[in-house]
Structures are given as structure tokens and as C-alpha cells.
Amino acid sequence: MGTMVVISTTAVPDRVRGSLSRWMVEPKAGLYVGTMSARVREKLWTAVSETVGEGAAVCLHTADNEQGFVILTAGERRRQVLDFDGLQLVQFLARPDEDDGEPEWQELPEGW
């Protein structure tokens, strides 16, 4: 029996979106939901992760672990998934303009 799979894409080539829409429903642009076997999920994710190009993709599927799901990512973005004693946590990478670790604050225009 299949399990629920959610894939979110950002700035991926049209061919990736077309491949995903063959197997999953797209309730919102770039968000795909479906139920499939582990074998189909693995083959689909391999195809997506190899062709994201400049874009990014995230896959979430149910799993028999403490959290009840697994997070897979492809492409470069500010969020990275880390394994912390068996738990998958998300960390934000600093922006390139944040050299000293502190964010640069912008002043609000008068009247705010």
C-alpha cells in the first residue's frame, strides 16, 4: 500500500513540474501531493533531484521513525536539514551580506 508524499518545488524547469503532475495532484503552484509506493517515490525523487537545475525541491513522506516523516531536499537554499540525534531539524544559513553574523537593519521611512 502507498503512503502520502508531498513535494514542494521552487524555480524548477517545466519538465520537472510535468513529471510530478503525472503522478501527483498540484493543489497550488509548485506543491504536489500524492499517494504512492516507496519504489515509485524513490524513482520520482531521484528524477526530480537530478533535474532541479537552479531551483530547489523538498520532499516529505511518512516514515516509521520518531517524527513520523522524512525530509529530503535538492538544490541550494538558505534552509538546510540537519540530523540531530535522529531528529531532522531545519537550520537557516546566513545571507551572504551577513558577514559578522548580525543582520543588517534597514531604517523604516518616516511615518512608519
pLDDT (tens digit, 0 to 9) for every residue of the chain, 112 residues total? 789 999 999 999 999 999 899 999 999 999 999 999 999 999 999 999 999 989 999 999 999 999 999 999 999 888 889 888 889 999 888 776 655 555 555 565 665 4
Label each residue of the chain as H, E or C: CCEEEEEEEECCCHHHHHHHHHHCEEEECCEEEEEECHHHHHHHHHHHHHCCCCCEEEEEEECCCCCCEEEEEECCCCEEEEEECCEEEEEECCCCCCCCCCCCCCCCCCCC
Sheet with 56-62, strands from edge to edge, namely 25-28, 31-36, 3-10, 56-62, 69-74
d(C-alpha 92, C-alpha 103), whole Å: 13
What is the amino acid identity at position 10? T
Whole-structure pTM value: 0.79
